[in-house]
Chains A and B, each alone.
Chain A
Amino acid sequence: MATNVYMEALSPTMEEGRVAKWHKRDGDAVKAGETLAEVETDKAIMDLVARADGVLRQVAVAEGQTVPVGSVVAVIAAPGETIGAAGSAPPPAPALSGKGKGETGNVGVATAPAVATVSAVSGADPSRVKASPLARRMAKEAGVDLKLVTGSGPGGRVVRRDLQGAATVAASPPTFPVSRVPLPERPEGAYQDVPLTQIRKTIAKRLATSLGPIPHFFLTSEVDMERAGEAREALNKQLGDQGGSKVSFNDIIIKATALALSRHRACNAWFQEDHIRYWNEVHIGMAVAVEDGLITPVIRNADVKSLAEIGREAKELADKARSRRLQPSEYTGATFSVSNLGMFDIDQFTAVINPPEAGIIAVGSIVQKPVVLDGEVTARRRMRVTMSCDHRVIDGATGAAFLQTLKQMLENPLAMLL
Chain B
Amino acid sequence: MATQFDVIILGGGPAGYVAAIRSAQLGMSTALIEKDKLGGVCVNIGCIPTKALLHSAYIARLLRDAKEFGIEAGAVKTDYGVAMQRSRKVSDQNSKGVEFLMKKNKVTVVKGTGVLQPGRKVKVGNDTYEAKKAVLIATGSRVKGLPQIGLEINKTTVISSDEALFLEKAPPSLAIVGAGAVGMEFADIFSAFGTTVTLIEALPRILPLEDAEASDTLAKSYKKRGIEVIAGANVKKGTPAKDKVTLDVEANGATRKVEVAAVLMAAGRAVNTEDIGLAKCGVQVTERGFIKVDAGLQTTAPGYYAIGDVAGPPMLAHKGMREGVTVTELIAGKKPHAIRYDNVPSVTYCHPEVASIGLTEDQCKERKLAYVAGRFPFSANGRARGTGETEGFVKILRDKQYGEILGAHIVGGHASEIIHELAVARENEYTVEEVELAIHAHPTFSEAVAQAALDSLGRVVDM
The answer to the question of B404 belonging to the interface, with a C-beta cut-off of 8 Å to chain A, is yes
Interface residues of B in 323-337 (CB under 8 A from A): 337
| B residues less than 8 Å from A132 (CB atoms) | 428-430
- What mask results when residues 392 to 423 of chain B are scored 1 for a CB within 8 Å of chain A, else 0? 00000000011110000000000000000000
Interface residues of A in 130-148 (CB under 8 A from B): 132-135, 137-138, 141
CB distance from B360 to the nearest CB of A (A): 20
Closest B residue to A135 by CB, please name it: B429
| A residues less than 8 Å from B430 (CB atoms) | 132-134
- What mask results when residues 34 to 78 of chain A are scored 1 for a CB within 8 Å of chain B, else 0? 000000000000000000000000000000000000000000000
A159 to B404, CA, bound (A): 12
- What mask results when residues 413 to 456 of chain B are scored 1 for a CB within 8 Å of chain A, else 0? 00000000000000011110110000000000000000000000
CB distance from A140 to the nearest CB of B (A): 10
Task: Determine if B337 and A138 form an interchain contact, defined as CB atoms under 8 angstroms apart.
Answer: no
Within 8 Å by CB of B402, from A134, A154, A159, lies A134
The answer to the question of A382 belonging to the interface, with a C-beta cut-off of 8 Å to chain B, is no
A18 to B402, CA, bound (A): 39
CB distance from A72 to the nearest CB of B (A): 26
The answer to the question of A407 belonging to the interface, with a C-beta cut-off of 8 Å to chain B, is no
The answer to the question of A384 belonging to the interface, with a C-beta cut-off of 8 Å to chain B, is no
Task: Determine if B337 and A154 form an interchain contact, defined as CB atoms under 8 angstroms apart.
Answer: yes
Within 8 Å by CB of A137, from B337, B403, B428, lies B403
Interface residues of B in 246-302 (CB under 8 A from A): none
Closest B residue to A134 by CB, please name it: B429
| B residues less than 8 Å from A133 (CB atoms) | 428-431, 433-434
CB distance from A88 to the nearest CB of B (A): 32
| A residues less than 8 Å from B434 (CB atoms) | 133
Instruction: Please report whether the interface of chain B is mostly helix, strand, loop or mixed according to DSSP.
Output: loop
In the complex with contacts A154-B337, A159-B429, A134-B403 CB distance below 8 A: yes
Task: Determine if A141 and B401 form an interchain contact, defined as CB atoms under 8 angstroms apart.
Answer: yes
| A residues less than 8 Å from B428 (CB atoms) | 132-133
| A residues less than 8 Å from B403 (CB atoms) | 134, 137
The answer to the question of A255 belonging to the interface, with a C-beta cut-off of 8 Å to chain B, is no
| A residues less than 8 Å from B433 (CB atoms) | 133
A251 to B326, CA, bound (A): 54
| B residues less than 8 Å from A159 (CB atoms) | 429
A141 to B404, CA, bound (A): 14
Task: Determine if A160 and B401 form an interchain contact, defined as CB atoms under 8 angstroms apart.
Answer: no
A132 to B431, CA, bound (A): 9
CB distance from B175 to the nearest CB of A (A): 45
Within 8 Å by CB of B404, from A134, A153, A154, A171, lies A134
CB distance from A156 to the nearest CB of B (A): 11
A135 to B402, CA, bound (A): 9
Task: Determine if A141 and B402 form an interchain contact, defined as CB atoms under 8 angstroms apart.
Answer: yes
Q: Interface size bucket, B side?
A: 10 to 19
CB distance from A149 to the nearest CB of B (A): 14
| A residues less than 8 Å from B429 (CB atoms) | 132-135, 153, 159-160
Task: Determine if A171 and B431 form an interchain contact, defined as CB atoms under 8 angstroms apart.
Answer: no
| B residues less than 8 Å from A138 (CB atoms) | 402
A103 to B433, CA, bound (A): 29
CB distance from B414 to the nearest CB of A (A): 26
A159 to B338, CA, bound (A): 12
CB distance from B425 to the nearest CB of A (A): 9
CB distance from B357 to the nearest CB of A (A): 15
| B residues less than 8 Å from A137 (CB atoms) | 402-403, 431
CB distance from A84 to the nearest CB of B (A): 29
CB distance from B439 to the nearest CB of A (A): 17
A134 to B402, CA, bound (A): 7
CB distance from B267 to the nearest CB of A (A): 36
A214 to B423, CA, bound (A): 70
Interface residues of A in 370-390 (CB under 8 A from B): none
- What mask results when residues 150 to 181 of chain A are scored 1 for a CB within 8 Å of chain B, else 0? 00011000011000000100010000000000
CB distance from A78 to the nearest CB of B (A): 15
CB distance from A53 to the nearest CB of B (A): 15
Closest A residue to B402 by CB, please name it: A137
CB distance from B334 to the nearest CB of A (A): 12
Closest B residue to A132 by CB, please name it: B429
| A residues less than 8 Å from B337 (CB atoms) | 154
A138 to B399, CA, bound (A): 12
| A residues less than 8 Å from B401 (CB atoms) | 141, 171
A159 to B337, CA, bound (A): 12
CB distance from B424 to the nearest CB of A (A): 12
Mark A residues whose CB is within 8 Å of B: 132-135, 137-138, 141, 153-154, 159-160, 167, 171
Mark B residues whose CB is within 8 Å of A: 337, 401-404, 428-431, 433-434
8 sample A-B contacts, Cβ–Cβ < 8 Å, listed by A number: A132-B428, A132-B429, A132-B430, A133-B429, A133-B433, A135-B429, A141-B402, A160-B429
Please name 5 further chain A to chain B contacts, defined as beta carbons within 8 Å, in addition to the given A134-B403, A154-B337, sorted by A numbering: A132-B429, A133-B434, A134-B402, A135-B429, A171-B401
- Per CB-CB distance, the 3 closest pairs between chain A and chain B, nearest first, are A132-B429, A134-B429, A137-B402
